[in-house]
């Protein structure tokens, strides 16, 4: 399985992903002539310079050529001088911009467009391998203006461009030149995929945009692999020792989208809101020194059944509908087979949805999910059966937050005992004394399933970022095999509490494995400063993932209570977030879903075919196969997305009074929430006027 690592005594491991010819281009200059774009790329040591040429005279096809020559700085400057002299009659060679990698290429109805990163910022390091976020990006049409077709200036083309710009790449996208950030630390140790193949993994969001350049060049020198989700790194101290904690959330690009438009599972077993969360803990030691490393991975994802909720502007809590009966649970089976392929066995399912409701909603999913697990387990060997645990966190609403965390921590401890976690020590091979002291590694049986991953691995680790040379030898003490999968209905609020409980328990074991805490003190008090700091990071992650999928920050009642926050403040905050989520789900998500589908290539515009805004978002996958009636879809689209101001205001007030009824607010809180609700009503008014102007 992909998660596993062999228990060999000694391995020389490449934490740096092997690129073709073993170099990394990290900075680029983009130039243009009338006939070509020229991109010059160089490595961090400024010893390797490469040239890429993109044809600008072809109006419909994308033609890219990479010069096989490796230049010195002086040689590439001489080359640019010759290009300038040769193109003086048409304006010569002009500098366009400094950039930090190609995001990809995209075509709508007219020309291809080049997307590049023009500003970046460092957000962390994984043992010297820098992780960046995008600060600014630019999009350039590839053909020059003299060969652009009329379609490139059309109203539909401009509308697609505006739609793509809704994908804010400066928020929650991150990348690394020298580390496979789309893979867990354990997979980085055992993974043999390189180059183009790594872009095909489920967490690379610009796979579609880079597909054409990769097909033509058969390398990844010029592109960066974007991961969407969350990245946070912090240094903490315990027992007078420093350690670095990194929390990474990787959102799957498969079946990606917004809360009400992407629910449940599709025919391929892909689920909505599928996010892998990894918690890495390193010893904080100088670069080049031996260090201990631990990593634990958990997963969240929508309940893998065919179910949906119709977006309603008049109903705050739409009914849950089992949209299709899959009596053999084929799609559910595919989903769990995929989890086993990714993480190994056992798969532990923590289901946090409600078991008792006055009007059945979540209960419907609870019963069907239990039936699915029971059905699938009948055909599985006892050791490989799905471990299904249900706990209704809302069944006793008066239960204290601390007690809820204690119960979740018990579940987490049991799950961690079953799956284990990665613990290893990395020692530079140049330090011969430490290497001679390495004792045989004793992994338990959990690693037996995946011994083949490292059996033949014997490669050197060079650290390009910090000029380190030589190899690291890895002593593996334990590995993770299996995963805890947590879900509620949205996989946002309750799920985040469950994931924090798991993260806190895992941190205790990680610190113990690294020698930071004694076995007698393995449990970290939930009120300790370290636990509070970890809670803050998980709360930030929860808010980020919730904004991406649900449209508002997460509901954090448990975290607020753990901090001792004033209940009245918490209630007003919960109402505000409910209103924000309702408004964005009802009015903003359709456009957001359209942008996601274009960015990921789920919808590819074709001249003469139906436009994206003529279709329901669910049809973006199928329109090229089955066709569509533009008139019928246009009518459906307009009725679904264009509401007048009266309906908008009524909907928001309906949501507001529902929240009042649920939380039994005092009068002064009504004033607070009304003030926060006033702005969305104005926004809806402007939005409705804008939609009226956008008639197709």
Mind listing the pLDDT tens digit for each residue in 442-456?
Answer: 344 444 444 444 433
pLDDT at position 300 over 70: yes
Q: Are residues 614 and 534 in the same domain?
A: no
Task: Identify which of 560, 546, 558, 552 has the alpha carbon closest to the alpha carbon of residue 655.
Answer: 552
- Classify residue 205: in a domain, yes or no: no
**SS3 category, 135:** strand
Strands of 203-240, DSSP E: 227-238
- Tabulate helix, strand, coil % of the chain (nearest 5): 40, 20, 40
pLDDT score, position 693: 38
- Classify residue 216: in a domain, yes or no: no
Chain segment 580-594, per-residue pLDDT in tens: 666 666 667 788 999
pLDDT at position 470 over 50: no
Pair 265, 297: CB distance under 8 Å: no
- Classify residue 204: in a domain, yes or no: no
Which position has the higher pLDDT, 570 or 117?
Answer: 117
- The Cα-based distances of 13 to 9, 439, 446, 471 in angstroms read 13, 17, 21, 7
Tokens coding 303: 């309940």
Q: What are residue 427's phi and psi, to 5 degrees? A: -130, 130
pLDDT at position 7 over 70: no
- The Cα-based distances of 99 to 47, 64, 138 in angstroms read 18, 18, 9
Pair 290, 434: CB distance under 8 Å: yes
Assign residue 633 a region (left: φ > 0; alpha: ψ between -120 and 50; beta: otherwise): alpha
Q: Are residues 529 and 624 in the same domain?
A: no
Pair 173, 205: CB distance under 8 Å: yes
Q: Are residues 274 and 396 in the same domain?
A: yes
pLDDT score, position 565: 60
pLDDT score, position 566: 59
**Model-level pTM?**
0.83
The whole-angstrom separation of Cα 580 and Cα 567 is 20
Structural domains counted in the chain: 3
Q: Are residues 519 and 448 in the same domain?
A: yes
Q: Are residues 546 and 584 in the same domain?
A: no
The predicted model gives 172-199 an average pLDDT of 88
Counting beta carbons within 10 angstroms of the beta carbon of residue 527, is it exposed (0 to 12), middle (13 to 18) or buried (19 or more)? Answer: exposed
- Classify residue 211: in a domain, yes or no: no
The H or E element that residue 583 is part of is helix 567-583
pLDDT score, position 619: 47
Look up tokens 């010297």; give the residue: 128
Q: Are residues 4 and 53 in the same domain?
A: no
Last residue of a domain, one of 111, 146, 176: 176
- Classify residue 635: in a domain, yes or no: yes
Last residue of a domain, one of 528, 551, 574: 551
The whole-angstrom separation of Cα 206 and Cα 226 is 6
What mean pLDDT, rounded, does the chain reach? 81
- % of residues, the chain, pLDDT over 70: 72
- Classify residue 195: in a domain, yes or no: no
Q: Are residues 336 and 277 in the same domain?
A: yes
Q: Are residues 324 and 429 in the same domain?
A: yes
Q: Are residues 405 and 517 in the same domain?
A: yes
pLDDT score, position 683: 47
pLDDT at position 223 over 80: yes
- The Cα-based distances of 26 to 41, 175, 178, 696 in angstroms read 7, 12, 9, 43
Assign residue 485 a region (left: φ > 0; alpha: ψ between -120 and 50; beta: otherwise): beta
* Residue 590 lies in domain: 565-693
Q: What are residue 336's phi and psi, to 5 degrees? A: -75, -30
pLDDT score, position 633: 37
- Classify residue 534: in a domain, yes or no: yes
Q: Are residues 13 and 31 in the same domain?
A: no
pLDDT score, position 474: 84
Q: Are residues 349 and 306 in the same domain?
A: yes
The predicted model gives 294-309 an average pLDDT of 96
The one-character DSSP state at 395 is S
The one-character DSSP state at 487 is E
Q: Are residues 598 and 676 in the same domain?
A: yes
pLDDT at position 540 over 60: yes
Task: Kindly indicate the confidence band of residue 573, based on its pLDDT and cuts at 50, 70 and 90.
Answer: low
The predicted model gives 167-187 an average pLDDT of 95
**SS3 category, 598:** helix
- Classify residue 198: in a domain, yes or no: no
């Amino acid at each position: 399985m992909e998660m596993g690592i062999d228990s060999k005594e000694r391995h020389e491991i490449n934490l740096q992903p092997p690129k073709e010819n073993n170099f990394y281009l990290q900075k680029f200059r983009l130039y243009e002539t009338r006939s070509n774009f020229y991109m010059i790329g160089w490595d961090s040591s400024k010893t390797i310079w490469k040239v890429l040429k993109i044809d600008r005279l072809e109006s419909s096809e994308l033609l890219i050529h990479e010069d096989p020559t490796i230049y010195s700085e002086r040689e590439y400057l001489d080359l640019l001088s010759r290009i300038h002299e040769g193109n003086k009659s048409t304006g010569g060679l002009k500098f366009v911009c400094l950039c930090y990698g190609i995001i990809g290429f995209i075509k709508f109805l007219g020309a291809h467009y080049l997307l590049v990163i023009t500003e970046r910022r460092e957000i962390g390091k994984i043992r010297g391998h820098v992780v960046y976020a995008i600060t600014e990006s630019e999009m350039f049409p590839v053909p020059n203006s003299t060969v652009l077709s009329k379609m490139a200036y059309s109203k539909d083309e401009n509308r697609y461009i505006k739609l793509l710009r809704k994908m804010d790449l400066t928020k929650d996208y991150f990348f690394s030149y020298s580390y496979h950030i789309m893979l867990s630390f354990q997979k980085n140790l055992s993974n043999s995929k390189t180059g183009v193949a790594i872009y095909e993994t489920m967490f690379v969001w610009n796979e579609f945009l880079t597909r054409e350049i990769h097909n033509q060049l058969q390398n990844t020198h010029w592109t960066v692999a974007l991961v969407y989700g969350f990245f946070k790194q912090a240094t903490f101290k315990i027992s007078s020792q420093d350690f670095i904690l990194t929390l990474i959330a990787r959102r799957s690009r498969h079946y990606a989208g917004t809360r009400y438009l992407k629910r449940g599972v599709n025919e391929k077993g892909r689920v909505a809101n599928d996010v892998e969360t990894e918690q890495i803990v390193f010893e904080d030691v100088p670069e080049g020194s031996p260090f201990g490393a631990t990593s634990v991975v958990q997963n969240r994802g929508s309940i893998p059944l065919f179910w949906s909720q119709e977006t309603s502007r008049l109903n705050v809590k739409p009914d849950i509908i089992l949209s299709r009966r899959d009596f053999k649970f084929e799609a559910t089976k595919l989903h769990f087979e995929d989890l086993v392929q990714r993480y190994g066995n056992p798969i532990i399912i923590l289901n946090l949805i409600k078991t008792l409701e006055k009007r059945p909603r979540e209960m419907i999913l609870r019963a069907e999910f239990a039936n699915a697990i029971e059905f699938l387990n009948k055909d599985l060997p006892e050791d490989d059966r799905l471990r299904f645990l249900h706990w209704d966190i809302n069944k006793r609403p008066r239960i204290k937050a601390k007690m809820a965390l204690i119960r979740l921590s018990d579940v987490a401890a049991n799950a961690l005992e079953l799956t284990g976690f990665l613990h290893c020590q990395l020692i530079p091979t140049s330090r011969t004394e430490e290497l001679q002291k390495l004792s045989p590694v004793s992994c338990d049986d959990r690693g037996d399933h995946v011994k083949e991953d490292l059996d033949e691995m014997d490669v050197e680790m060079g650290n390009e970022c910090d000029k380190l040379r030589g190899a690291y030898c890895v002593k593996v003490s334990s590995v993770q095999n299996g995963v805890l999968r947590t879900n509620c209905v949205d996989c946002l609020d309750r799920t985040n509490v469950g994931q924090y409980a798991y993260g806190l328990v895992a941190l205790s074991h990680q610190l113990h494995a690294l020698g930071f805490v004694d076995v007698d003190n393995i449990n970290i008090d939930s009120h300790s400063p370290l636990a509070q700091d970890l809670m803050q990071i998980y709360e930030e992650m929860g808010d980020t993932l919730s904004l991406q999928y649900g449209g508002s920050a997460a509901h954090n009642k448990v975290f607020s209570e753990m901090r001792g926050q004033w209940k009245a403040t918490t209630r007003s905050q919960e109402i505000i977030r409910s209103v924000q989520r309702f408004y964005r789900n009802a009015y903003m998500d359709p456009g957001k879903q359209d942008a996601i589908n274009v960015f990921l290539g789920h919808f590819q515009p074709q001249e003469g075919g139906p436009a994206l805004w003529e279709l329901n978002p669910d049809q973006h996958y199928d329109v090229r196969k089955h066709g569509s009636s533009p008139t019928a879809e246009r009518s459906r689209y307009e009725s679904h997305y264009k509401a007048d101001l009266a309906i908008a205001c009524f909907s928001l007030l309906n949501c507001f009074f529902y929240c009042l009824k649920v939380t039994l607010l005092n009068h002064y809180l009504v004033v607070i929430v009304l003030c926060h609700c006033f702005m969305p009503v104005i926004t809806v008014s402007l939005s409705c006027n804008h939609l009226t102007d956008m008639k197709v």
